[in-house]
């Protein structure tokens, strides 16, 4: 059966890998992201695209209209849009408190608000029974992220997912969170990855390797399958054991 899959942040990294896995099943995939040209060049066979900044309610309303026209029902909603904020425009101020306010606001908007707005706009369109909502959190939600802002913005998705799972459970819709550790070959780190930092992150795993977008996509695909129908309101970590440590 062909399903309708909506993936935010679908033009790059984990979202794109997930899109390719669903497209390989013959599913109809809609890629959402801010950059139209990146979505169009993502190399996902047959994918529809819709450019939108998902921190903006007006843009999200536009996505909802597009989904109503082109898909009708959403079988799987994957929220991969996000980031640590360091690739966004800076605070425009050297004042320490302005910088803190900017860091926390940007991270909340990128990681929490994007996912919540899109969910609220599309939740009435989720297939019932059988619909799936999947959020991308992070190992940072368990361990911190330096300033705390990115980690907190990801951790905020956990209780939201639990409330949503309770709300949508009676409709036969599951809601889960996937929390990756270090995943390479994405745009997440920009040019901020060094050999030393990579070696440290890989060294935290118990299997001695970095995660790949395919590792995370496979977990999302499984959680979206009928086989995972009794799994809901869970946070699944994909990190080579890094969160437990040695």
Q: By CB under 6 A, name the one of 82, 85, 130, 131 that touches ligand NAD.
A: 82
- CA distance between the termini of the chain: 44
Instruction: Name every residue whose Cβ is closer than 8 Å to that of residue 180 and which is 6 or more positions away in sequence.
Output: 14, 136, 138, 139, 211, 215, 216, 237, 238, 239
Using CB under 6 A as the binding rule, whether residue 34 contacts ligand NAD is answered as yes
Q: 132-136 and 174-180 as β-strands: parallel, antiparallel, unpaired?
A: parallel
**Is residue 182 flagged as an active site residue?**
no
Using CB under 6 A as the binding rule, whether residue 11 contacts ligand NAD is answered as yes
CB atoms within 10 A of CB 64: 18
Angle in degrees, CA 57, 22, 163, rounded to 5: 45
Residue with Cβ nearer ligand NAD (9 or 240): 9
Which 3 state secondary structure label does DSSP give 176?
strand
Using CB under 6 A as the binding rule, whether residue 142 contacts ligand NAD is answered as no
Instruction: Name every residue whose Cβ is closer than 8 Å to that of residue 132 and which is 6 or more positions away in sequence.
Output: 75, 76, 77, 173, 174, 175, 176, 223, 224
Using CB under 6 A as the binding rule, whether residue 176 contacts ligand NAD is answered as no
Least distance between ligand NAD and beta carbon 133 (Å): 14
Which residues ranging from 189 to 208 are in contact with ligand NAD (CB under 6 A)?
none
Site string for ligand NAD, 112-131 (x = CB under 6 A): --x-----------------
Q: By CB under 6 A, name the one of 80, 119, 205, 237 that touches ligand NAD.
A: 80
Task: Please give the positions annotated as active site.
Answer: 150
Contacts to ligand NAD by CB under 6 A: 8-9, 11-15, 33-34, 53-55, 80-83, 110, 114, 136, 138, 180, 182-183, 186-188
């Amino acid at each position: 059966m062909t399903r309708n899959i909506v993936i935010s942040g679908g033009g790059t990294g984990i979202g794109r890998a997930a899109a390719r896995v669903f497209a390989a099943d013959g599913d109809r995939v809609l890629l959402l992201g801010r950059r139209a040209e990146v979505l169009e060049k993502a190399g996902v066979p047959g994918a529809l695209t819709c450019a939108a900044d998902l921190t903006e309610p007006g843009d999200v309303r536009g996505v909802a209209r597009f989904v109503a026209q082109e898909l009708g029902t959403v079988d799987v909603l994957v929220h991969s849009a996000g980031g640590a904020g360091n690739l966004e425009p800076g605070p425009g101020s050297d004042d320490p408190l302005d910088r803190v306010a900017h860091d926390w606001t940007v991270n909340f908007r990128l990681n929490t608000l994007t996912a919540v707005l899109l969910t609220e706009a599309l939740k009435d369109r989720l297939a019932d029974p059988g619909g799936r909502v999947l959020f991308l959190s992070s190992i940072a939600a368990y361990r911190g992220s330096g300033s705390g802002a990115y980690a907190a913005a990801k951790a905020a998705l956990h209780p939201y997912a639990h409330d949503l799972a309770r709300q949508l459970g009676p409709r036969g819709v599951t809601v889960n969170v996937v929390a990756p550790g270090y995943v390479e070959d994405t745009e997440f780190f920009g040019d901020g990855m060094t050999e030393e930092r990579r070696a440290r992150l890989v060294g935290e795993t118990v299997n001695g390797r970095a995660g790949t977008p395919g590792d995370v996509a496979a977990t999302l695909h499984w959680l979206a399958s009928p086989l995972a129908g009794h799994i809901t309101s869970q946070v699944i970590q994909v990190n080579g054991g890094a969160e437990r440590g040695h």
